[in-house]
Amino acid sequence: MGVAGCGKSSLGQALAQALGRPYIEGDAYHSPDSIAKMRAGIALTDADRAGWLDQLGGLLAAAPGGAVLACSALKRDYRERLRRPVPGLRFVFLDISRELALQRVAARAAQHLFPASLVDSQFAALESPVGEPGVLRVAAELAPDQQLSQARAWLEGEGA
């Protein structure tokens, strides 16, 4: 979890493969209206995200052996909404600076639905999960193999 550009999809895919779990790309489940808003540079509201979060929680609950989900989950309420159908759900928070997030999102602009103009809205919405139970903070600037190593060790140590 984390803001746009932090590396959720890359780490999520690597972690799912390493753990032998299904991977769920949260962006693939946004409604057409939400995708249109983001492409137009309009930040999503809590109401826009509600059904999306419920759908993602349902997908997680439907994976009896567990799954890896890449999802922004910016606010505590969003994380709680995901935890309701999946008690004990854990989050790897990819912590990134605004500057690096802007750089990464701008670099992938041609291939991604999320424009750099929305990065600030993500930081404005972010309620840091640091200190919440079941959360690991990983620095987004670390090499992907270091991120994977930290996340995997934490999850496997917790009985993933």
Confidence category of residue 87, pLDDT binned at 50, 70, 90:
very high
Mean pLDDT of the chain: 93
Confidence category of residue 159, pLDDT binned at 50, 70, 90:
very low
Q: pLDDT tens, 29-57?
A: 999 999 999 888 899 999 999 999 999 99
Residue 137's φ and ψ, nearest 5 degrees, are -90, 130
Apex 62 CA angle, 59 and 66, nearest 5: 90
Q: What is the pLDDT of residue 74?
A: 97
Domain spans in the chain, listed from the N-terminal domain onward: 8-149
Pick the CATH number of 8-149 from 3.40.50.300, 3.60.150.10, 3.30.465.10, 3.40.50.1010: 3.40.50.300
* Residues 101 and 122 sit within 8 Å (Cβ to Cβ): yes
Q: What is the pLDDT of residue 41?
A: 86
- What is the sign of the dihedral through the CA atoms of 138, 119, 75 and 55? negative
- What is the sign of the dihedral through the CA atoms of 76, 33, 42 and 6? positive
pTM of the shown model: 0.92
Q: Quick one: average pLDDT of 100-107?
A: 92
Secondary structure (3-state) at 48: helix
